């Protein structure tokens, strides 16, 4: 009887594991399909033989001044953390979910998106993008695996398009309207979380302007490093919004901080 019970428990465990894996596989298949479809519409996928393209990093003569590289980091970080949360809800341990989330994010951004880019006349496979993807997926793993990191530091994107102008159809690459930043939150530090400083945070970020994918002259392009002091909206609004306030751990609202910038 003990043997039968052991075999039954093992069978149930294998079945549960397979169910979880099926959900992970289906999720990845759906994301890959969405990326390929969007790439065909917006990124010129499938118009040339696979090829590579050296895009550079944060130089003035690159297409986006490096904002696309910090963007790749952020999308992998966010995708990894979001998928990890879903995978943990399906029965994986936190460590397993963090690993599956990071691997899924990197696979989607590199094995799907970058391979797709390699068939685009405008883009091409970029090793710089692949490195940024890896760094973002790794950060996503660490920040999900170790919640104490996430309580202290956020990586965020600010998106503030000029509504008086024509809005880019592909908002995902509208770097002219974005800022990418790291926020250090006072509420994550025990010595500060019960003081009047608990709602404050420090910002360190980067953005580029007037690049517009090679259409403007080099001398008109601007790249900025900035530091600022802001309000931790996730912490401030948590009593009102509950768990929904967590969106502000990833999205930075404009005009909620003071900024000092320096052009590179």
> Is 154 in contact with 185 (CB distance < 8 Å)?
yes
CA trace torsion 69, 150, 227, 216 (10° rounding): 20
pLDDT, tens digit only, all 264 positions of the chain: 555 555 444 444 545 666 888 999 999 999 999 999 988 888 888 888 888 888 888 888 888 889 999 999 999 999 999 999 999 999 999 999 999 999 999 999 999 999 888 888 788 888 999 999 999 999 999 999 999 999 999 999 999 887 777 666 678 888 999 999 999 999 999 999 899 999 999 999 999 988 875 556 777 899 999 999 999 999 999 999 988 999 999 999 999 999 999 988
Q: Look-up: residue for tokens 């950060």?
A: 139
Q: Can you give the pLDDT at residue 42?
A: 82
> Is 156 in contact with 143 (CB distance < 8 Å)?
no
Q: How far apart are CA 79 and CA 172, in angstroms?
A: 13
Predicted structure pTM score: 0.88
Q: Can you give the pLDDT at residue 131?
A: 95
> Pairing relation of β-strands 222-231 and 257-263?
antiparallel
Q: Can you give the pLDDT at residue 10?
A: 47
Distances, alpha carbon 158 to alpha carbons 62, 155, 183, 227, 246, in Å: 21, 10, 12, 14, 15
């Amino acid at each position: 009887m003990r043997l039968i019970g052991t075999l039954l428990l093992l069978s149930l465990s294998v079945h549960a594991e397979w169910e979880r894996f099926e959900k992970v596989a289906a999720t990845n298949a759906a994301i890959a399909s969405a990326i390929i479809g969007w790439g065909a519409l917006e990124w010129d996928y499938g118009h040339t033989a696979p090829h590579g393209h050296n895009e550079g990093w944060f130089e003035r003569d690159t297409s986006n001044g490096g904002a696309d590289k910090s963007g790749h980091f952020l999308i992998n970080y966010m995708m990894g953390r979001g998928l990890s949360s879903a995978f943990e809800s399906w029965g994986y341990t936190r460590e397993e979910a963090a690993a599956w989330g990071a691997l899924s994010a990197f696979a989607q951004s590199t094995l799907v998106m970058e391979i797709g880019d390699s068939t685009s006349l405008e883009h091409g496979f970029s090793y710089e993008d692949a490195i940024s993807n890896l760094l973002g997926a790794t950060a996503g793993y660490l920040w999900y695996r170790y919640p104490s990191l996430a309580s202290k530091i956020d990586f965020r994107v600010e998106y503030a398009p000029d509504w008086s102008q024509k809005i880019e159809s592909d908002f995902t690459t509208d770097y002219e309207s974005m800022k990418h930043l790291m926020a250090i939150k006072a509420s994550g530090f025990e010595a500060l979380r019960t003081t009047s400083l608990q709602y404050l945070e420090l910002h360190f970020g980067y953005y580029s302007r007037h690049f517009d994918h090679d259409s403007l002259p080099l001398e008109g392009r601007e790249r900025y490093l900035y530091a600022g002091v802001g309000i931790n909206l996730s912490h401030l609004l948590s009593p009102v919004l509950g768990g929904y306030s967590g969106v502000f751990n990833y999205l930075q609202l404009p005009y909620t901080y003071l900024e000092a910038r320096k052009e590179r």
